[in-house]
Each structure stands twice: as structure tokens, then as C-alpha cells.
């Protein structure tokens, strides 16, 4: 039996990125330095899959694309042979990545409820995603703000709070949205209770404390789901930056609420905080941890350093995977050449941009990074134990459903890095190219 390690590498930046492949044999050895150890006998969480968001902004850009580019985009994301995205997140009513503010209903009896904004831009994109995937795609719905009349400040933007007298109405409103998708044949599987509940924004936003979200969860949302026959909907807490995810779970979960919550969702915008995920896994081992939003904001991104942006996303992903997440949902699937549209100018990068003037799809280097991860960490993969010699080389390793060992290696340094992979007493010597990402596959042949 011969064991080989196949490495597929992307390095460089932007349109000039290069692809490089290595195949090396494992051999007996006793190397001590520059080693990455893999221990397939020790396993951790099972991964459910990757995904992204279909916002009104993404859908409006998608509507301007021609049929071949639409097909190419959807197959890149959702085809089982490519990124194989498993999930889609959709905002409830408007968010900053909308063409403007809107709400489906502005009356407490919902007599004016209108689903046209979703029907115009979101549903066509979702239909094509399901066609490329060859299956129904589980959806997560997230609200940015209740309708203005339900809030203390009387408007969708600027934070404000949900007025107590409208808590039941708001819960019914969220259920109405779920039902609107379900009656059109879509598979809604999860909701979050509030996007970024600590953020006062120039766009749609609403403030909750942990205690307020806990009360809304048990006194209003869960009873509303039961009233509407939606007991199969999974509820995820928090849906904001990672640094407070443990505190939110600690303050909300108790004997009464534990069975109401599937897990916690979080964003990546406040730094690593991988230790926060460790706390959640140790204190709440039965709860799922998912990244529900991440992107490179143009306010923080140097457009001349595409590789730096991709490497930062890669670092985040490896850290989150190695500390217990079971799903990763990126933000907008596609945006225009300006990183929009965004009705307040809060532009950001997407893995694919579309030049609306030149009528051309522009894949970003980040899309190739995501594809490395999606190929290496398939739905149903189980993380295996690994150790590494230092910060220079980052690694995550997984056992796929068929037993194959796969993983991702990243070298963020400016120099090539020789690395020894150790597995079951065997060693394979690799060279990680500067500022590169590599997907690896361990193969055994007779």
C-alpha cells in the first residue's frame, strides 16, 4: 500500500494568481521540526456545509447578468462538483444591501402584506441556485428591523427598540415571512431573532439586550412558531460579532430555554476570538455554532491587495473550523463593480463582482479560496485532530464521509515554507508557496 498526498495550490494576487500541484509520497521518518501532525483517530464536530446570502442587492445585480453568466455563477456556488453550497441566508425586509428601505407590512393586522420585493429579485436567484444544486436549499431568515411603527424611535434605522406592546405582532410577522416562503415551496429551516442586536446603524437596525432577546424567545417567538405550525424551525441566537457569542448564550440558555435553541450564529468583523468558540463548545456542547455573515468591508480593504483580503478570510475560516463551527455562510453572493448597490453606501467585497457597464462577471481571488475550503470540507465531513509548529503555517484537517482525509493549508508569510506532514508514523515533505492556500488529499493505492 502506497500513501500519497496531493496538494492543489493557489498563490499570487488578483488576475495574476497561479495554480500549482504537488504529489508527494509518505515515507517512514522521525522529523521534529516544521511538522504538522494529523491524528484521524481523534474526531470533533461534523460539518454541515457552506453557504451565502441572497440579498435584494445581490438579486438586482444578478438580474442584469446574461443567461450564460448566471449559469456560471450558480454552478460555481451550488453545483455538487464545485463549491457545493448548502445554505442561503435571506434578510427579512430591507437591510443595507437593499435598493432602499421597505417593509412587507405597515399595519398590525398585516392586511397590506406585500411580498413583491422578494418576488422581484430574491426568488429568481434562489430558483436558479436550486436548479444548479439539484435540490431544495435550506434557508435561514434574519430580520434587521421590525416595521417602524413597532419601534421606540419610529423608524427602521438608528437602532431603537421593539415596543413591548408589539412583541406578539412582531413574532407573528416573522412567522408570516416563513410561511410566505414555505407556501411557494422553499425550505425554510432556521431563523435568527435579530441581526446585530447591539448595533445602532445608519441603516435598518434594532437593539436587544440578552435579557430582552431571552424574553422575546420564550414568551413570544416560540409560542408564535407553535401557533403557526412551525415547530421544525431552528432558532439561532446572537447573529452579531464573535466576541460576545459566549456571553449571549450564557445569559439566555437555562433549563427552560435550552430546548428552544439550536445554537448561536455570529459574524467575523471584530477579530479572531476563537477562544470564545471554545467556551461555547465546552459549556454548551449540544449547540451548533455557525458563521452567519462575513465579508471584506471596503472601509477596511485595500483594493490593491486582493491576496491580503483572501488570506485574512482564509485565516478566519481555518480558525473557526478548528474551534467548532458546523456551517459557514458568507455575505452577498454577488455585487456590482462598486461593491453594491447599498442604499447607505456601505460597500463591501463579494467573491464575485459583476461589472454592470462592461457586462462582465469578475471572480475575486476570495472565490478560489472558498472553493479550496468547500472541496476539502464537504457536508458530513468530521474534523480530525491536528497540531502545527507555529503561526507561519495554518492547517485544518477533515475526514470525509467516505473516509478520505482532506484539509486546507495556508502560508500567510512572504517566503516559501517547507513543511512536514506526519500521519500514522509516516511523513510527507511539502513546500508551501508564499502567500498561498492549498487543499490537500491523502490517497492510498495498492
Could you tell me the residue ranges of all domains in the chain? 2-45+383-445, 48-376
Find the distance separating the first CA and the last CA of the chain, reported in whole Å.
4
- Write out pLDDT tens, residues 144-159: 999 999 999 999 999 9
Same fold, 2-45+383-445 and 48-376: no
Evaluate if residue 252 carries a pLDDT over 70.
yes
Evaluate if residue 171 carries a pLDDT over 60.
yes
* Mean per-residue pLDDT over the chain, rounded: 96
Check residue 86 and give left, alpha or beta (phi > 0: left; psi -120 to 50: alpha).
Answer: alpha
Nearest 10 degrees: Cα torsion 212, 218, 224, 226: 160
Residue 16 confidence (pLDDT): 53
Average pLDDT over residues 339-358: 97
Q: Report the alpha-carbon distance of residue 421 to residue 104 in Å, rounded.
A: 54
- Write out pLDDT tens, residues 173-207: 999 999 999 999 999 999 999 999 999 999 999 99
Cα 33 to chain centroid, rounded = 35
Record the pTM: 0.96
- Write out pLDDT tens, residues 237-249: 999 999 999 999 9
CA atoms within 13 A on the CB side of 122: 27
CATH topology of domain 48-376: TIM Barrel (3.20.20)
CA atoms within 13 A on the CB side of 370: 28
Evaluate if residue 14 carries a pLDDT over 60.
no
Residue 15 confidence (pLDDT): 52
CATH of domain 2-45+383-445: 2.60.40.1180
Q: What is the DSSP code (8-state) at residue 35?
A: E
Check if the beta carbon of residue 376 is closer than 8 Å to that of residue 40: no
Average pLDDT over residues 356-369: 95
Strand partners, 7: 22, 440
> Using alpha carbons only, what angle is made at residue 347 by residues 72 and 91, rounded to the nearest 5 degrees?
70
Q: What is the DSSP code (8-state) at residue 350?
A: -
Cα radius of gyration rounded to whole Å, the chain:
22
Check if the beta carbon of residue 57 is closer than 8 Å to that of residue 338: no
Q: What is the DSSP code (8-state) at residue 137?
A: P
- All three cell numbers of 169: 405582532
Query: Residue 55: pLDDT band by 50, 70, 90 thresholds?
Result: very high
Non-local (6+) Cβ contacts of 12 within 8 A are 18, 307, 435
Question: Residues 34, 40, 44, 50: is their CA dihedral positive or negative?
Answer: positive
Q: Helix 274-283 vs helix 306-322: angle between axes, to the nearest 10 degrees?
A: 20
Amino acid at each position: 500500500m502506497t500513501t500519497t498526498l496531493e496538494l492543489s495550490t493557489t498563490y499570487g494576487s488578483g488576475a495574476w494568481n497561479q495554480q500549482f500541484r504537488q504529489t508527494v509520497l509518505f515515507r517512514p521518518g522521525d522529523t521534529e521540526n516544521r511538522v504538522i501532525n494529523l491524528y484521524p483517530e481523534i474526531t470533533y464536530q461534523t460539518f454541515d456545509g457552506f453557504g451565502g446570502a441572497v440579498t435584494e442587492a445581490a438579486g438586482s445585480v444578478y438580474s442584469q447578468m446574461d443567461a450564460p453568466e448566471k449559469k456560471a455563477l450558480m454552478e460555481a456556488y451550488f453545483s455538487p462538483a464545485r463549491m457545493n453550497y448548502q445554505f442561503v441566508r435571506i434578510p427579512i425586509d430591507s437591510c443595507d444591501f437593499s435598493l432602499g428601505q421597505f417593509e412587507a407590512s405597515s399595519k398590525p393586522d398585516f392586511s397590506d402584506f406585500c411580498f413583491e420585493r422578494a418576488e422581484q429579485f430574491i426568488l429568481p436567484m434562489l430558483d436558479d441556485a436550486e436548479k444548479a444544486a439539484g435540490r431544495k436549499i435550506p434557508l435561514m431568515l434574519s430580520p434587521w428591523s421590525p416595521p417602524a411603527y413597532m419601534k421606540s424611535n419610529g423608524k427602521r434605522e438608528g437602532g431603537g427598540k421593539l415596543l413591548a406592546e408589539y412583541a406578539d405582532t412582531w413574532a407573528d410577522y416573522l412567522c408570516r415571512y416563513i410561511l410566505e416562503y414555505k407556501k411557494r415551496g422553499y425550505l425554510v429551516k432556521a431563523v435568527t431573532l435579530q441581526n446585530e442586536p447591539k448595533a445602532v446603524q445608519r441603516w435598518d437596525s434594532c437593539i436587544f439586550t440578552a435579557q430582552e432577546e431571552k424574553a422575546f424567545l420564550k414568551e413570544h417567538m416560540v409560542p408564535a412558531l407553535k401557533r403557526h405550525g412551525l415547530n421544525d424551525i431552528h432558532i439561532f441566537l446572537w447573529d452579531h460579532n464573535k466576541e460576545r457569542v459566549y456571553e449571549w448564550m450564557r445569559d439566555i440558555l437555562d433549563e427552560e430555554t435550552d430546548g428552544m435553541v439550536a445554537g448561536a450564529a455570529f459574524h467575523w468583523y471584530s477579530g479572531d476570538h476563537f477562544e470564545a468558540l471554545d467556551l461555547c463548545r465546552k459549556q454548551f456542547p449540544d449547540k451548533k455554532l455557525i458563521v452567519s455573515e462575513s465579508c471584506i468591508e471596503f472601509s477596511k480593504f485595500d483594493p490593491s491587495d486582493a491576496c491580503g483580503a483572501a488570506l485574512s478570510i482564509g485565516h478566519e475560516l481555518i480558525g473557526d473550523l478548528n474551534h467548532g463551527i458546523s456551517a459557514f455562510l458568507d455575505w452577498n453572493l454577488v455585487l456590482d463593480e462598486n461593491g453594491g448597490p447599498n442604499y447607505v453606501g456601505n460597500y463591501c467585497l463579494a467573491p464575485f463582482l459583476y461589472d454592470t457597464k462592461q457586462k462582465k462577471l469578475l471572480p475575486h481571488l476570495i472565490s478560489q479560496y472558498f472553493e479550496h475550503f468547500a472541496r476539502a470540507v464537504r457536508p458530513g465531513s468530521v474534523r480530525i485532530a491536528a497540531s502545527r509548529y507555529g503561526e507561519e503555517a495554518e492547517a485544518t484537517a477533515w475526514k470525509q464521509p467516505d473516509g478520505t482525509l482532506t484539509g486546507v493549508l495556508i502560508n500567510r508569510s512572504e517566503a516559501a515554507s517547507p513543511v512536514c506532514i506526519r500521519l500514522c508514523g509516516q511523513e510527507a515533505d511539502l513546500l508551501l508557496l508564499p502567500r498561498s492556500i492549498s487543499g490537500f488529499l491523502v490517497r492510498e493505492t495498492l
